[in-house]
A = this chain, B = another copy of it.
């Protein structure tokens, strides 16, 4: 088990940060992103396809093809990426794994998880790839 994000999400975040940091370069081939972000290229390629479907990336085939951002990077927030790759797991699901329990008649742990999850959601929602690239 990874720490908080799935491996796919970890690789994607690392890769997208690399891409966002390179102001001069627009289009990236998967092998280049993979090398720069220390990710396995074939696996990263799969997750980039998901990000294309999710509207984060554009892709183009052929000689000068590759992946590029589908919109300005100050309009791409970390939560967008996490939502596409890891779903609502981190932002909605019960931390104790109960399938059909939310808010009504909460168990003792509920209030804690709420207090922890909300700042996480806030941070992911407020931070854009553009801001990540600056630091």
Q: Which residues of A contact B (CB under 8 A)?
A: 1-7, 10-11, 13-14, 17, 38, 86, 89-90, 93-98, 107-109, 111-112, 115-116, 119-120, 123-124, 127, 131-135
Question: A89 touching B120 by the CB < 8 A rule?
Answer: no
- Nearest to A134 among chain B residues (CB) is B108
Contacts A107-B17, A108-B132, A109-B17: A93 and B3 contacting too (C-beta < 8 A)?
A: yes
User: Distance (Å) between the CB of A56 and the closest chain B CB?
Assistant: 17
Question: B4 touching A38 by the CB < 8 A rule?
Answer: no
| Chain B residues in 8 Å Cβ range of A2 | 1, 97
Docked complex Cα distance between A66 and B107 (Å): 25
> Given A4-B90, A115-B123, A116-B123, 12 other A-B contacts at CB below 8 A?
A3-B90, A3-B95, A3-B97, A7-B97, A11-B97, A14-B97, A17-B108, A38-B98, A108-B133, A109-B132, A112-B124, A116-B116
User: Distance (Å) between the CB of A127 and the closest chain B CB?
Assistant: 6
